[in-house]
Structure 1
Amino acid sequence: MILIALLALPALGALLAFLPGRTGRLAATCVAALTFGLSLRLYSTGPGFWYEFDRAWVPALKLRFHLGVDGISWPLIVLTTLLTLLCCLYSLWKTPDNRLIGLLLALQVGLLGVFVALDLVLFFVAFEVVLLPMYAIIAGWGGPKRRHAARKFVLYTLFGSMLLLIGVVLVVNQTGTADLAKPAGTATLAAFVFLALGFAVKAPLWPLHSWLPDAHSEAPTVGSVLLAGVLLKLGTYGLIRVAIPVAPTGAHKAAPVLAGLAVGAILIGGLICLAQTELKRLIAYSSVGHMGFVLLGIATMTATGLQAALIGNLAHGLITGLLFFLVGALKDRTHTGELAELGGLRESSPQLAGLLGFAALASLGLPGLAGFWGEAFAVIAAAQRGWWVAAALAAVGGAIAAAYLLRLLRKVTHGPSTLKLTGPAGYELAAWAPLVVGTVAVGLAPLLVTGVTGPAVDALVEAFTK
């Protein structure tokens, strides 16, 4: 029943948020803290599912309310509960609106539902539950063009959902089961293509990424943090949990194409970032490149590549979540995100400059910080598969990432200061500190992640290579 509690707690918190005044906000934030604690309690070791709940859901259609947690899903569950808690804490002071905190927790229900669902139809339902709360967050608390960005987010996501639904129907018809715990593994290439396209829109993977910059540019800070930190992971997680296990033969056939698209995302995302003049859009486009490394790892379909993808997912959530918190703080203080109008940050606010420098170095893959492991081992996995050109081009993409992030630091932190900025407030440090600690911890001790994911990845690779 711990899995039922994991979904019920944030749903309860979303309702408590609508109690009047500060009481509702505090109650909802306390529930977010309890949910984070519960997610830590799920930890175990070994292959297989650590916790499982399975009951008939729609008996006439042979659908089951089947939930489970293993080493593949648990790190993303913890990331989701952590970022939601930090966003709630941040909103208590920055945007003290009960409705926003309630929507954050409603969003968390859908996100956690995706990561624990072991029935394909239930997975699809949870995948769709995410849509409405994120639309409301962007449209309600975003920037001047928030409604346009929110509509674009919805339209693109619904297009991806349509493709995903076709894939779900094909899988169930072809295999006769919706069980993700023991997938039949006999779905065709067509089913894999529809599933992969649906997940690619959500990730988003190039060239289906054009909704992302607008959504990030207009979303409030907490919306951008959860959008980049967790929502983008739904697509890559879906490839690992759903698309490859149900259609391994199709996945093997499509692997070179996926690798080519991944390299395209890495290179094109990096080049677009070099041309950006607005801080938030630059960070948004950087996600296209980073998720390209995750896709490259997945495309190899090797234990090394899948481990790289899983640690890359987690690292991107920690680092990009921190970057969007920092960018939000800068825009709140300066009322601009234009690189040409920012400068001299190390003089006007050395604390913010230091944190921004740390996050940028982590994002470019500096060894010793979390961003290094996923990208380095995605390249290694591609080389091990014999994809030498893809590995070389991905490495060039890593160099481009270093170029645009160092350019960002030069423009924002150096030069004469024309602004007088306040340093980080206490509530900001409370929201940022866990992400800094997590980035350093994963960077110095990647075994914290790979030790958890390893047995599940080995079992997955063994299953689809038989």
Structure 2
Amino acid sequence: MPAQFPWLTTLIVVPLVGAALVWALPGAARRHARPVAVAVALLELVLGAVAAFSFDTASAGTQQLTETHAWIPSLGVSYAVGVNGVGLTLVLLSVLLTPLVLIAAWREHPDVHEDGLQVIGGSRIRTYTALVLVLEAFMVAVFSARDVFFFYVLFEAMLVPVYFMIGSFGGLQRRYAAIKFLIFSLAGGLVMLAGVITLYLHGPQGPQGFLIDNLVGHLDMSVTTQRLVFLAFFLAFAIKAPMWPVHTWLPDTAEAAPVGTSVLLVGVLDKVGTFGMLTLCLPLFPEASRWAAPVIIVLAVISILYGALLAIGQENLLRLIAYTSVSHFGFIVLGIFAFTSVSVQGASLYMLNHGLSTGALFLVAGFLIARSGSAKISDHGGLQKVVPVLAGTFLVAGLSALSLPGLSTFVSEFLVLVGTFGANKAAAVVAAVGVILAALYVLLTYQRAFTGPGREELSSLPDLSARERWVVGPLIAAMLVLGFFPAPALNLVRDPASVTLEHVGVADVAPTLASPSDDGSNQ
């Protein structure tokens, strides 16, 4: 392939073309919407893997696979894409989860109305699969965007497919959940828009005035203005992340949305919040980032404990997983604003590993709910003997969520805590309590749902089918591989962490494992 092949643009265009193809399927051919969508998503996965091989890991701290084209020069807006190591991991996470979600939902969204009448033409299948592909294109684009205005457009555009995926295909409270999600997101986006406009007015302006590379280090702002614009961006990202106390949309959405939608929303889209903090807030507003860091660290620690405590008390399995994510995002934000290379590496890696473990948890929970007809944990019990493969996959995903050594999340959570300890011992110690609470909400849930006396009405449930095993198998394999051999992922996030600290202007604090003896020996 040509050296300058537009890999990122291709990864954005392919799912959009696939969505148009699915939507254009005529008449009876619409029943083939699912296989066509899966084929497009698998093609996207292959293209993503090939693009990753074109990425130079030795220069992971620089933007690669870049393209810049004039879009609206009079407003300083460009179509600019490129990824460093962190952006690449999130692009790969997006293209991995999308085909798994489509395959997992193979038998979902039948073409019947709520009143039981048959829908002519397979419109529900066509609509849902097309929305998933459009969302995939937006996910790839937002993690690749190198123009602030382009990023903002994608940040808002993603709301459209998610809103319809929740409101049209979710459960009983789908309309309420969809509207709540939209209101929270639009409120954050509106505040962010004010920050985007202010950013341009205080930047170099010109035809490429919104390019991130042109803005970093070239903003002519007073300290007060920089802090206000930082808060505008941070609020939007905190809502998306989600952080306490602007997280309340997530449990309602996770409970009402289709499980596949929750996988993409929590596993990938919510990373836009922490990704934005890392790639926009810190390099654009270094002084404001340092100024706000103590308060943000407190909020992150509260999120860790609050999310974990509420997860323990949940009766609904999907809400429980949502609250665990509030806790996990607290760890990510803590690692970002601890401002050490180790903690930032851990936070960057956590975004990938959380997508794997939480995606697997949602998918397996969805398989369980589809069989039992209930999301209430107390409506289950003794299923370990009835559906051993389903129980085993849930346990592995849960153990990854609680950061068991040998599974991928352990590495990232360990790096966050060790890195934070070097800069803020109190925050690290309190945050470590979240590890204990995670063990409680995972193991208690497994005990209630899969051990103990069984329920007679659930004694004949089928175990995971071959299709369902192919869905969760790659995620479990990835968790195991990255748990025992995290080097490939760490190599992608190490240099970006150092570059981030240079932008923020703080001295790195390396964790001290041992003190050398007086004679200079460190044995």
Query: Do they superpose with TM above 0.5?
Result: yes
Q: CA deviation at 1:170?
A: 2.2
Residue 378 of structure 1 is matched in structure 2 by 416
CA deviation profile, 1:146-168 (whole Å, cap 9, x unmatched): 11111111111101111211221
Q: Could you tell me how far apart the structure 2 residues matched to 1:262 and 1:327 are? A: 27
User: Structure 1, unaligned stretches of length 5 or more?
Assistant: none
Contact 1:171 1:246 in 2 (8 A): no
Aligned counterpart, 2:403: 365
Partner residue, 1:409: 446
Give, in angstroms, the shift of residue 369 of structure 1.
0.3
Q: Which residue of 2 aligns with 1:184?
A: 216
Q: How does 1:120-199 map to 2 (within 5 A)?
A: 120-176=148-204, 177-185=209-217, 186=219, 188-199=226-237
Match of 2:79 in 1: 65
Higher mean alpha-carbon deviation, 450-459 vs 205-214, is at: 450-459
Following the alignment from structure 2 to structure 1, what is the Cα–Cα distance between the partners of residues 438 and 8? Answer: 39
CA 1:33–1:181 in structure 2 vs 1: closer, same or farther (change >3 Å)? farther
Residue 459 (str. 1) matches residue 459 (str. 2): no
Letter in 1 for 2:180: K
8 Å Cα contact 1:72/1:457 also seen in 2: no
SS in 2 for 1:54: strand
Summarize the alignment of residues 244-259 of structure 1 with structure 2, pairs less than 5 Å apart: 244-259=282-297
Identity of aligned residues (%): 35
Q: 1:446 aligns with which of 486, 495, 504?
A: 486
State the distance in 2 between where 1:463 and 1:201 align: 24
Whether the aligned pair in 2 keeps the contact of 1:290 and 1:316 (CA below 8 Å) is yes
Q: 1:284 aligns with which of 317, 322, 332?
A: 322
Structure-2 separation of matches of 1:101 and 1:22: 11
Is the Cα contact below 8 Å between 1:56 and 1:63 reproduced in 2? Answer: yes
In 2: Cα distance, 1:351 partner to 1:184 partner: 50
The one-letter amino acid paired with 1:411 is: R
Give the whole-Å Cα distance in 1 for the aligned partners of 2:366 and 2:380: 13
Counterpart CA distance in 1 for 2:376 and 2:313 is 12
Q: Which has the larger Rg?
A: 2
Aligned to 1:306: 344
What's 1:88 paired with?
Answer: 102
Instruction: Write the distance in 2 (CA, Å) between the matches of 1:397 and 1:430.
Output: 32
Per the alignment, residue 3 of structure 1 pairs with 8
Query: Within 2, Cα distance between the matches of 1:339 and 1:264?
Result: 26
Between the aligned partners of 2:366 and 2:34, the Cα distance in structure 1 is 21
DSSP 3-state at the match of 1:73: helix
User: Does 1:21 find its partner at 2:49?
Assistant: no
Alignment partner of 1:365: what SS? coil
Alpha-carbon distance, 1:425 to partner: 1.1
The amino acid across from 2:345 in the alignment is: Q
Distance 1:70 1:271 in 2: 35
Partner secondary structure for residue 416 of structure 1: coil
Render the CA deviation track for 1:388-413: whole Å, top value 9, x for unaligned: 11111100111111111111111111
Task: Give the 5 Å matches for 1:414-429.
Answer: 414-418=451-455, 419-420=458-459, 421-429=461-469
The corresponding residue for 1:36 is: 45
Rounded Cα–Cα distance in structure 1 between residues aligned with 2:7 and 2:452: 53
C-alpha displacement at 1:309, in angstroms? 0.7
Cα deviation, 1:347-402, whole Å, max 9, x if unaligned, reads: 221111111111111100101101112222111121111x1111111001111111
Amino acid of the structure 1 residue aligned with 2:356 = L
Q: 2:270 is paired with a residue of what secondary structure?
A: helix
Structure 2 length-normalised TM: 0.87
Question: Corresponding residue for 2:364?
Answer: 326
340-349 or 94-103, which moves further after superposition? 94-103
Amino acid at match of 1:17: V
Say which SS state the counterpart of residue 422 (structure 1) adopts.
coil
Show structure 2 runs of 5+ residues with no match.
1-5, 111-124, 507-523
1:104-123 counterparts in 2 under 5 A? 104-123=132-151
- CA deviation string 1:317-369 (max 9, x = no partner): 00000000011111111111112111101122111111111111110010110
Q: Structure 1 residue 182: deviation in Å?
A: 4.5
- Matched to 2:443, the amino acid is L
* Aligned residue in 1 for 2:509: none
193-202 or 374-383: bigger deviation: 374-383
Q: TM-score scaled to structure 1, two decimals?
A: 0.97
Displacement of 1:32 after TM fit? 1.0
> Where does structure 1 differ by over 4 angstroms across 4 or more consecutive aligned residues?
none
1:13 touches 1:29 (CA, 8 Å); kept in 2?
no
- 190-199 vs 14-23, which deviates more? 14-23
> Secondary structure of 2:406's partner?
coil
